[in-house]
């Protein structure tokens, strides 16, 4: 059974817009456009079938907030996927030092350790 996705299904829109539109050169993050240069009322089939969960959908309408029928403008490209082979983007770096005789290092190191930043010596 093929189903139509409602215009309020934001996740469907996001799934479709992860891909470029092969029909009218709409970049990822943008709605499809018509040959007249307006925002299309629905995403083109070749584009939304690239989203596995939408392959059997009959139609994916362009949501009202994308302005169907209005002059087309490129949208914001989606963020690039994070490469699983690269280190995590959540890297914390702590810095502790004593610049005067009145300061002590242990309380600074304890505070960093409390926030999950282990003690390591600086190189060289």
- pLDDT tens digits, one per residue of 14-47: 899 999 988 888 899 999 999 899 999 999 999 9
Q: Which of 16-30, 56-70, 84-98 has the lowest mean pLDDT?
A: 84-98
Q: Does residue 111 come out as left (phi exceeding 0), alpha (psi in the -120 to 50 range) or beta? A: alpha
Average pLDDT over residues 73-80: 85
Grade residue 1 by pLDDT with cuts at 50, 70 and 90: very low
Grade residue 68 by pLDDT with cuts at 50, 70 and 90: very high
Q: Where are the domains of the chain?
A: 1-78, 92-124
Predicted confidence (pLDDT) per residue in 106-118, tens digit? 888 888 888 778 7
Distance of alpha carbon 50 from alpha carbon 60, whole angstroms = 12
Identify the pLDDT of residue 30.
Answer: 93
Distance of alpha carbon 102 from alpha carbon 12, whole angstroms = 60
Distance of alpha carbon 124 from alpha carbon 113, whole angstroms = 22
């Amino acid at each position: 059974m093929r189903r139509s996705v409602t215009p309020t299904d934001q996740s469907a829109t996001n799934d479709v817009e992860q891909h470029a539109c092969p029909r009218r050169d709409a970049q990822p993050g943008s709605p499809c456009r018509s040959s007249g240069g307006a925002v299309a009322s629905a995403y083109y089939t070749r584009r939304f079938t690239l989203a596995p969960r939408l392959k059997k959908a009959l139609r994916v309408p362009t949501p009202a907030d994308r302005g169907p029928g209005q002059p087309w403008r490129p949208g914001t490209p989606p963020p690039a996927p994070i490469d699983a082979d690269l280190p995590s983007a959540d890297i914390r770096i702590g810095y502790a030092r004593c610049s005067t005789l009145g300061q002590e290092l242990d309380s600074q190191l304890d505070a960093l350790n409390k926030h999950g930043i282990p003690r390591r010596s600086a190189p060289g």
